[in-house]
Structure 1
Amino acid sequence: MKKIALIITLLAVGWECFAQKPFPLETGDLLFQVTGRSAYTEAISSVTRGIKDLNFTHVGVAYVEDGKTYVLEAVPYGVVKSPLEKFFRDAQKSDGNPVVVVGRLKPRLRRCIPAAIGKIKTLLNKRYDFVFDPDDDDYYCSELIYVSYLKPNGKPIFKMKPMTFRDKQTGEISPLWVEHFKRYKCEIPEGVPGTNPGDMSRSKAIRIVHHYF
Structure 2
Amino acid sequence: MRWMVMLMVWFGAHNAVAAPHEGLEARLQTGDIVLHTSRSSQSQAIQKATQSPLSHVGMVEVTEQGAWVVEAVQPVQRIRFSKWKARGAKGGILVLRPRELSDAQRQQAVAAAKAHLGKPYDWLFGWGDDAMYCSELVRKAYAQGAGLEYGKMERLDSLRVKGLEQQLRERYGKRVPLDLELVTPASIAADVRLEVVHSDFPSVR
5+ residue gaps, structure 1: 1-20
Residue 199 of structure 1 and its aligned partner are, at CA, apart by 0.7
1:22 aligns with 2:20: no
Indicate the structure whose relative CO is greater, using CA pairs within 8 Å and at least 6 residues apart.
1
Residue 40 of structure 1 and its aligned partner are, at CA, apart by 1.4
Residue 45 of structure 1 and its aligned partner are, at CA, apart by 1.1
Equivalent position to 2:100, from 96, 104, 107: 107
CA–CA distance in 2 between the matches of 1:48 and 1:67?
35
Equivalent position to 1:122, from 112, 115, 121: 115
1:90 aligns with 2:87: yes
TM-score, normalised to structure 2, is 0.76
Describe the shift of the 1:154–1:136 C-alpha distance in structure 2 as closer, same or farther (beyond 3 A): same
Q: Is the 8 A contact 1:165 1:177 kept in 2?
A: no
Q: Give runs of aligned pairs for residues 174-213 of structure 1, distance below 5 A.
A: 174-182=165-173, 187-212=175-200
Q: Is the 8 A contact 2:156 2:177 kept in 1?
A: yes
Residue 164 of structure 1 and its aligned partner are, at CA, apart by 3.5
CA–CA distance in 1 between the matches of 2:128 and 2:76?
17
CA root-mean-square deviation: 2.5
Corresponding residue for residue 31 of structure 1: 34
Equivalent position to 1:149, from 142, 146, 166: 142
Residue 159 of structure 1 and its aligned partner are, at CA, apart by 2.9
Whichever structure has more helix as a proportion of its residues is: 2
The code of the aligned residue for 1:68 comes to G
Aligned residues: 178
Q: Is the 8 A contact 1:129 1:140 kept in 2?
A: yes
TM-score, normalised to structure 1, is 0.74
The code of the aligned residue for 2:69 comes to V
Runs of 4+ in 1 over 6 A off after TM superposition: none
Q: Is the 8 A contact 1:32 1:58 kept in 2?
A: yes
Offset from partner CA, 1:13-36 (integer Å, 9 cap, x none): xxxxxxxx6121111111111112
Corresponding residue for residue 12 of structure 2: none
Q: Is the 8 A contact 2:98 2:194 kept in 1?
A: yes
5+ residue gaps, structure 2: 1-21
Which is worse superposed, 102-111 or 200-209?
102-111
The code of the aligned residue for 1:70 comes to W
